[in-house]
Amino acid sequence: MAPVLELRGITKRFPGVLANDHIDLTLEKGEIHALLGENGAGKTTLMNILYGLYQPDEGEIFVKGKKLTVHSPTDAINAGIGMVHQHFMLIPVFTVTENVMLGDEMTKAAGVLDREAAAQRVKQISEDFQLSVHPDAYISELPVGVQQRVEIIKLLYREADILILDEPTAVLTPQEADELFKIMRSLTDQGKSIIFITHKLREVLRAADRITVIRLGKVVGTTTPRKATENKLASMMVGRDVLLRVDKKAAKPGKVVLDVKDLKVTDDRKHLTVEGVSFDVHAGEIVGVAGVQGNGQTELVEALTGLRQPLSGKIQLLGKDITDAFPREITELGVAHIPEDRQRDGLVLSFPVADNLVLNSYYREPYTKGVIMQEQKINSSAKQIIRDFDVRTPSANTTVGSLSGGNQQKVIVARELSRPIKLVIASQPTRGLDVGSIEYIHKQLVARRDQGAAVLLVSSELDEIMQLSDRIAVMFRGNIVDILDARKVAKREVGLLMAGVVKGKQAARKSVRTKKRK
Amino acid sequence: MAKPPAKKAPERSEKRKDAFSIFLDEVSRAPITIPILAIITGLIIGGLIVALTTEEVYAAWSHSPIEAIQVGLRAAWSSYSALFTGAIGNPARIVDALKGGDALEIRRAFNPIFESLTKSIPYIFAGLAVALGFRAGLFNIGAEGQIFIGAITSVVVGFALTGLPAIIHIPLALLAGALGGALWGFIPGLLKAKTGGHEVINTIMMNYIAFRLSEYLLRGPLQRPDSFNPVSPFIQDSAKLLRFFGDPIRFNLGFFIALGVAWLVYWFLFKTKWGFDFRTVGANPNAAKYAGMNIVVVTIAAMSLSGALAGLAGANEVLGLNYNLALAFSSGYGFDSIALALLGKSHPLGVVLAALLFGTLRNGALQMQVSAGIPIDIISVMQAMILAFIAAPAIIRTIYRLRAPSAVEEEIRVRGWGG
């Protein structure tokens, strides 16, 4: 029998880049096929071609042995191909059924929506595949993991046989990810086939039937979890041996650098999202803030860096009150900030690398004399920093927007760590980066710690927190539920805390939620 | 017409993948390509409209289509040649005048090109105003109102102060115009920065206030005592901008002031730390905030400076050309300048070139109306076309089979990667 999906010799060129170079890929019926590769390896491009968002320059696509030309997502959907994007496409104020119907509405006579029939089908799908999603629930009330299942229902509702999941675990807690893997298995048991895009090695080994590794737009090889190991996959991905464990000595904590007391912060809609947290970070240690995204970490970091006015509480840096300080004052006191969203906050994409490297020091000597910016000085120091931090860019005058994600992040890291610093606040510093860049950034953070800087690491990647931190603060719904010694705590325990399950108090999650609703 | 060197994209350069070719690629997709093709396309469509609105073409159609096309081409040709003589001058006349040696006749022969330069002065100022706003991420629709206010403050200083030497009076009058415009920009800037009130809405409102205010002033306090018309008194001779040639050439010092200001704006935007603030706030306000810039101050300063530049356009009209203020004197420079700033890609050099184009077209259009009987509005239509093509570059890319710029595709891919 012909494979469900076959890609033959897919090639896609972008100006200056060969994004896909004669890629062959087959997907058998009932298979979970992991597509593993660094960011920029060409996974997303390949899937965008399959989904009709790009046209390939060469190559053919076969679905169940029949040649298929996809000009648009509609063609893909009609051929039974469905995609769950990293960022969900759901309308929060609509119900599950309404979201699923959207774009493919069932109607009764005279164009009246047939909600009951649709809800019935959603219910049926949910039961068939053990998704446990209630058709009438509002999206805004559902946890992220369940929202993802709604996305899957959307595909099943349109009778997709081939499901593409693009980095599906990026937004999930470890427990939710386990749940997702079970669902994926139940889907394939009933004849669906899944392409699972990821750069996380452990997940691939757990969930996939077959693994295809892509590097620099080429297929490096296809293997199975049985034959592969994490190290082997990593070196296939990167093309060299990679250090998966962070090599670090025991911390030698010094004096308190950052001291936060009973800090309360609201978000843009004036909702209290940080509900009174207290913690400190000492010189020479890394404190990791673990937590699923959206539990107040963003607002916490913004308050610490002066980007958001706290509601109440106190923030001290080396004994100096910085609760109401401006971002520039805080920067000048020696705080480095690697922002959560690098393209939104950390970079001006249309500016050259050199300008981005002086983004928060451009106004001072030696980059500005009087009011005149010293281009030569900016350029020569940029060249030096580019060399020191191994930023891969054609030149210092290349616009940052044209660099890869990993190099964009390196520009930020280089900028923040190339000046004298006392405190590093790194928010999701390796999100979406490839193994090589992650390794590099981890090393840099540990090096700063060893040089005596205090490091506050905020990350939703539990592995990252476990590997780097000396102490771990777990955030859940605006509170730090516990601060743990990283050497003495198990990953599972932190995972449970992240999900709001406090030791002996299983009902914590519920009680906090009802409190919020009031 | 000044024509900047256009670099067409070498179509197949993507095959080579080294860093240098990527760089070449970026250069070859220079921002200048689209504006130039837009202008050419605008001219062609303008010619078509001329042909289609000429009755003789339809008359000829009944004989044969070929004849109709010939007549149409002739109509377009005659209107464009009228446009050219109106805007640049009649070569034959220039040669004759130079041979004849009569000074007045020589001046008359050369007048069109100087008049074109003169007409571009307000466009340069107002275009710079809008461009500066764009660079800081602000859409200043209020240039027209700022021009009016600048003209009022400038004319008041021009006629009310007496006994000053020109070297003091002229700068004072220009400064007054700049300050007037700055005030008219400051108010929406303050509203935007402090209350979030959108500058587009507020500058439009400020325009209405400026129009009615000038009308009130010209019919009341500022009306020339001996006139029944709503016009202001004439300014003192000491406030008049130097004219370099005798009548009828109106070309004056304002042109060089405009070029100087354009250079200043360039220097400010690209060489000073304040300009860096402006551009960062404009390109990514979040990053600006992260970098410790004060967005409130930048917003207010940018709107005020933008207003000041527009105010200078008004001042120049009063001090360099009209010597007094009349109702509705500006004829939409402030609105045209939005198109112009877009055409010039919000770069001072681009703005100057676009202003020269607009000034030339405006000037030539008058001649076209007189000698070829083509209504002046055709030029407005053409300008609108050019603007539409600039605003929707996909049209131009499709017509001329240009490749989409790499930056756009890059962006899409970057978004695909961003975790």
Per-residue pLDDT of B122-152, as tens digits, reads: 999 999 999 999 999 999 999 999 999 999 9
Given A238, A268, A283, which residue is the final one in a domain?
A238
- The one-letter code for the residue type at A376 is Q
Q: Picking from A83-92, B150-159, B217-226, which range would have the lowest pLDDT averaged per residue?
A: A83-92
Q: Is residue A238 within 8 Å of residue A43, measured between CB atoms?
A: no
Q: Do A343 and B23 touch (CB under 8 A)?
A: no
Residue B345 has pLDDT above 90, yes or no: no
Mean pLDDT in residue range A228-249: 79
SS (H, E, C) B63-84: CCHHHHHHHHHHHHHHHHHHHH
Between CA B375 and CA B54 the distance in angstroms is: 11
The reply to whether A390 falls in a domain is no
Contacts of B289 in chain A (CB under 8 A): 307, 327, 345
Q: Picking from A168-172, A490-494, B88-92, which range would have the lowest pLDDT averaged per residue?
A: A168-172
| pLDDT at site B25 | 54
Measured CA to CA in angstroms, residue B201 lies from A204, B47, B131, B173, B206 at distances of 54, 36, 18, 30, 9
Domain CATH for A153: 3.40.50.300
Query: How many angstroms away from the CA of B194 is the closest CA of chain A?
Result: 16
Measured CA to CA in angstroms, residue B207 lies from A366, B199, B200, B204, B335 at distances of 43, 12, 11, 5, 11
Residues A174 and A316 in one domain: no
Cis peptide before B248 (omega within 30 of 0): yes
Mean pLDDT in residue range B165-174: 95
In 3D space, the residue among A184, A83, A177, A249 whose CA is nearest the CA of residue A463 turns out to be A177
| pLDDT at site A255 | 93
| pLDDT at site A16 | 66
In 3D space, the residue among B323, B337, B346 whose CA is nearest the CA of residue B147 turns out to be B337
Contacts of A405 in chain B (CB under 8 A): 414, 417-419
Residues A17 and A150 in one domain: yes
| pLDDT at site A300 | 96
Residue A305 has pLDDT above 90, yes or no: yes
Residues A229 and A285 in one domain: no
| pLDDT at site A439 | 86
Tens of pLDDT, residues A100-119: 988 777 777 777 778 888 89
Between CA A374 and CA A367 the distance in angstroms is: 5
The reply to whether B188 falls in a domain is yes
In 3D space, the residue among A402, A390, A493, A452 whose CA is nearest the CA of residue B417 turns out to be A402
Provide the residue range defining the domain that includes B152: 121-349
In 3D space, the residue among B342, B345, B377 whose CA is nearest the CA of residue B361 turns out to be B377
Residues A264 and A179 in one domain: no
The reply to whether A228 falls in a domain is yes
Could you tell me the two tokens for B250? 């109106």
- The one-letter code for the residue type at B96 is D
pLDDT bin (cut points 50, 70, 90) of residue A243 is low
| pLDDT at site B15 | 42
The reply to whether A43 falls in a domain is yes
| pLDDT at site B391 | 76
Residue A490 has pLDDT above 50, yes or no: yes
Element (H or E) spanning A1, and its range? Answer: none
Q: Do A326 and B292 touch (CB under 8 A)?
A: yes
Q: Do B286 and A350 touch (CB under 8 A)?
A: no
Other Cβ atoms closer than 10 A to A1? 7
A391 half-sphere exposure, CB direction, 13 A CA radius:
32
Mean pLDDT in residue range A44-65: 88
Q: Is residue B308 within 8 Å of residue B185, measured between CB atoms?
A: yes
Residues A234 and A284 in one domain: no
Provide the residue range defining the domain that includes A133: 5-238
Between CA B411 and CA B418 the distance in angstroms is: 10
Residues A152 and A279 in one domain: no
pLDDT bin (cut points 50, 70, 90) of residue B18 is low
Instruction: Please report, rounded to a whole number, the percentage of residues in chain B having pLDDT higher than 90.
Output: 53
- How far the first Cα of chain A sits from its last, in Å, is 57
Q: Does A210 touch chain B (CB under 8 A)?
A: no
Residue B21 has pLDDT above 60, yes or no: no
Residues recorded for chain B: 419
The reply to whether A410 falls in a domain is no
| pLDDT at site A510 | 41
* B177: β partners: none
More confident residue, A262 or B407: A262
pLDDT bin (cut points 50, 70, 90) of residue A1 is low
Q: Is residue B181 within 8 Å of residue B307, measured between CB atoms?
A: yes
pLDDT bin (cut points 50, 70, 90) of residue B64 is confident
B28 half-sphere exposure, CB direction, 13 A CA radius:
18
pLDDT bin (cut points 50, 70, 90) of residue A332 is very high
Residues A163 and A190 in one domain: yes
pLDDT bin (cut points 50, 70, 90) of residue B30 is low
Contacts of A401 in chain B (CB under 8 A): 407, 410-411, 414
* A289: β partners: A458, A473
Q: Do B273 and A371 touch (CB under 8 A)?
A: yes
The reply to whether B13 falls in a domain is no
The reply to whether A13 falls in a domain is yes
- Tokens 């000044």 correspond to B2
Contacts of A328 in chain B (CB under 8 A): 291-293
Residue B293 has pLDDT above 50, yes or no: yes
**C-alpha torsion A342→A345→A351→A356, nearest 10:** -80
Which residues make Cβ contacts (< 8 Å) with residue B15, sequence separation at least 6?
Answer: none
Contacts of B278 in chain A (CB under 8 A): none
Q: Is residue B254 within 8 Å of residue B320, measured between CB atoms?
A: yes
Cis peptide before A366 (omega within 30 of 0): yes
Q: Do A344 and B409 touch (CB under 8 A)?
A: no
The reply to whether B2 falls in a domain is no
Residues A494 and A439 in one domain: yes
Given A205, A238, A271, which residue is the final one in a domain?
A238
Could you tell me the two tokens for A98? 């309404």
| pLDDT at site B13 | 39
What is the count of structural domains for chain B? Answer: 1
Residue B2 has pLDDT above 60, yes or no: no
Helices (H), A389-461: 405-417, 435-450
A489 half-sphere exposure, CB direction, 13 A CA radius:
25
Residues A312 and A459 in one domain: yes
pLDDT bin (cut points 50, 70, 90) of residue B405 is low
Residue B118 has pLDDT above 70, yes or no: yes
Residue A390 has pLDDT above 70, yes or no: yes
Q: Does A328 touch chain B (CB under 8 A)?
A: yes
For A221, phi and psi rounded to 5 degrees? 175, 165
Mean pLDDT in residue range A10-37: 88
| pLDDT at site B123 | 96
Residues A136 and A279 in one domain: no
What's the pTM? 0.78
Give me chain A's average pLDDT, please.
87
Residues A44 and A154 in one domain: yes
Measured CA to CA in angstroms, residue A302 lies from A515, B286, B297, B364 at distances of 25, 12, 21, 57
Q: Do A348 and B272 touch (CB under 8 A)?
A: no
Residues A156 and A290 in one domain: no
In 3D space, the residue among A459, A239, A249 whose CA is nearest the CA of residue A340 turns out to be A459
The reply to whether A396 falls in a domain is no
More confident residue, A123 or A14: A123
Residue B324 has pLDDT above 60, yes or no: yes
* B154: β partners: none
Residues recorded for chain A: 518
Given A203, A238, A273, which residue is the final one in a domain?
A238
Tens of pLDDT, residues A427-476: 999 887 777 788 889 999 999 999 999 999 999 888 889 999 999 999 99
What is the count of structural domains for chain A? Answer: 2
| pLDDT at site A503 | 58
